[in-house]
Structure 1
């Protein structure tokens, strides 16, 4: 995967799906224009030839089309080279039974037209072709590989020679390296073969008389098989299907670049492997676009939709968003050089450029006309808010001025959630209203609560309901505890998303759940394993005064101690106030159960002294109680070691039992087996030992199955 995307610059449809080949596109100065501007020629199996000269990003493809011609027969391959000897580029078109050389010329209307230079009718069905100065010929020659393994060489309007490839079954990619005068191809055995052109010519000269006699004796139909087989220069076992063969020149030395089905190979001209790189996707096509010093730069198209740029065998860039490519090449536009032309299997011709911006999700906002007066007023208001906040004189929460959230009193309204099966004990009503002259639409409310607190709704969407001045929306919510785990806090956050004045807004509102949802009054205990002591700067306050409004059943005489029993649990937490000093102790045998009573005590102290107009300071002067955490870590480590020891013992017992079974099977094959009474006892003992290991109790089972790791 890659974050970066290839940016589409220009695109058009050139053919029907599955009617294009890997050699269907060429990019070059087809019409020999003075400005040497590139044109793109694309041909299909339907016999249609298109030539485009893209003028700019988003331009009309029909306006950029310079030529469209139906040649009437399937087109297998296109090549551009000077094969006429007049120092002008020619367009070479390969058909199944003929090869045609055209001169592309400009007409008076700004389009292009084809003028045939010469044509060769082929005696064999063609597969592909390559053009080069074979044997250092002054004029470029055309070499056509046929379906039966024959290489036919044409020089202008003459057929020069025919040679058969040895061990041939199916045609493969074909390339010519001029510096070494080598023809390189791949056969059906997944071998890369190289042949010297001069050796072909030498074989032809030595056997010319024999070929002439053979041609006189065979019929016209059999004469197509006249020719001498040639010997290979080198052979390399690729081990996979060959998709393409190309070559580059690095510091006066040629190198072969072979693209396999899932790998890419670099070979020297002796057939030796220099390096190899494997890809996770299937490879389709490649193009060499520049060579710097000893580094080879390549473009690689794969069927995973990612275009890769390689330097030697290192991927230096990858961009997604590319359809399955069949052929690719570089294209230099007058306005933007360095584009990448890709023909896809769906029949699309697209020009891409490699952008540097990662493709991340973009937040789209509804378009609206610009109101400069409103923008100036909003800017003035924001600047005043910023100045007030910097001076510490911000009197209200401006982030919540558009939406007003409030909740009513909690009531005992026990119900069972039909989806989860949890019992919900308390309910409340949340009211949503807007400020004056504010209209909110597309409201949604998300309820965020920490485990084990559960709510009957995770999200409430109000749809198209509109809230404006004088309108209030009430939402009924029910809360409860999911299991016996003590909660760490009794707080719930509501997150409201809405649209105000065509702009998205998010507001949050936090409120506390009632204390009796998690705690019930009980008799306090004097002794406990875990104790926390907090200090205050005010005289002690009785428990009835602090918790009388939050919990029922705390009326009567003032008491300095109170107990809280956790809901769905036997954990008891005691809160004890000192007689003379402002010290309070919170203690319990369950360390996790101390959280809610400690928070409730702190909140009750602040609320009590705030009503009296006094300020209370709450401190914790003792060392942090980390011993329980360390004990839990040690206990967990010991359980892991015990489980590991049990697994090792079980594995040893099972291995011993399997070995005894194999020995017993070997005894059955023995033609004269000995007595197996003792062996049976050993097998029975090994079986009992393995069963005892399986039923041995794990130490963590005492804490419940959830603790077994």
Structure 2
């Protein structure tokens, strides 16, 4: 039996034949008396609200009249009463009364009485919420861990939780699998709502952090968390048998054989094309599409051409989940860049057709594309498949971005390529741009780019030289590259193995530096726009907060033109965002031009210094390290770090330079002066006999044998050239590279012939 019993201290009978429920009782210091003495609040289904303050003189005495502080008839059934911090601007306690279709919040206060009747109490309605759904019960608490206030959650009869942030309605959510309403309470420790479902199961719902939300490709949405499962495995009892070493050795040899077969190099290194499991090939149509497939092109031309690419996937084995991705370098684009196929059976194939066109309003730096097929190949040990890839590259025609045009006599930029073979007629090497009937134009050719610029190609009749000229430095690149490739293919067909191209002019560094400055200036503008947008956004949010405070105030104050300031700030944010977006587009075009000019400079340096393929690869890795340019990692600081590394290693003049250390962090520089200085010094070191290499031994030897100076002699073509002792190479001097613009290295008679249209 229990030691303690419930002993009567105070009791009373409420009304006549009134009905009450679990939520109709509440105990709290509802009048904020400060004495710490709680009152009893009772509501009934008949609509009566009563507040008691029991204090018997002696145990067992009858109820005193002054024990009933307040009794009012609210005319609507009272489902639940609660006391909490429900009014904004104060942490005082207020009374919340829940009716079927309404939630009312009252302030309970008392005034000192002057007669024997005692103090006088009354309630004042602070605010009310009209409910769209029939209420069942409610709970309250500091939802989400808020400080100094309580929020209210009401459960409707149809299973909706409605949350109220004091005077404002926050949001609502439906309970899953709802049938009948159950009890509802709030746990401040776990910050969750607890209820009992119709299945008699206790459920806890938790505005939950740390959940991982994943969506699969077949539409399966899942919320999960990182946790562990208990280990249900019990280790079997150890069998006390003797070890059979012969069986153990045999098993070990068998496992070693399996490991050896699985780690053969032939399964790791790429196989030859004939023995690949999956082969992907791309065939570019020799002619442009009769009807252009260009979509949303920004090029301001009458018609933007497109070319069809046919991609074939051949599988010799079972290939699961094959996925084809087609990539071209912006501003080029494809009509469709992703293809998903069903599983490929052995000796089966798939073919897709797509079109490539110029989408951006600038010329690309490369006319190449890439096809990549990813798939899973099942094995005996891994039936789900081992991930593998197959790829191929394809080249796009020059006619995709330019068309034949009338040659231009004058141009701002000119370069001259020397060869060791007589000039070839353009009818032979550029049949797609020359009409065979125009015999008089076989030594001069004009290229009109879709973006508006023009480039002219001339062949000397008396010397073995070709001149490329244009008003834009970057437009020289693709024509020069096409000229070199087509000449090499022509002489390869003629079984000529000693054909070579050289460059003896000056490297156009000053024009190249202008493109660097243009790109860097746009990067600085992007940083300024970002800072201005951040400032205006902070200002916009501050004005919003002040406006919301004014709107929530019970006694609204004048806006004092805050609405006008908000609208003006909003317009500034929109204007800055538009300007930043336009600057971003200009920066992309500037970076594309910079890449084209960089390709051109790399080719000229390689022809000038007769670099090997490995050395050209070092040049490309140094000057073209990024496929995309971002504010976090830009072209200028990346190239500056790479060039500085070469200057202190393979191109260093002494061990003192090799001891210099580079910065540990790449960040956007203040200007481009250091970068331009390093590039000029880089070309100067190459002119004085430096050789590109990534090995430390050759760098040390290079620092010893590098000559200390050079001499210059005038040549018949009016260009100064540097003569390296012990070498037959004719190289431009440092001063000429840094100051003089590019000039054609033609003799007088060849120059006259080349200038003729």
**Interval of TM-score (by shorter of Structure 1 and Structure 2):** 0.3 to 0.5
Question: As a proportion of its length, which structure holds more helix?
Answer: 2
Q: Which has the higher strand share?
A: 1
Q: TM-score, normalised by structure 2?
A: 0.40
Q: TM-score, normalised by structure 1?
A: 0.42
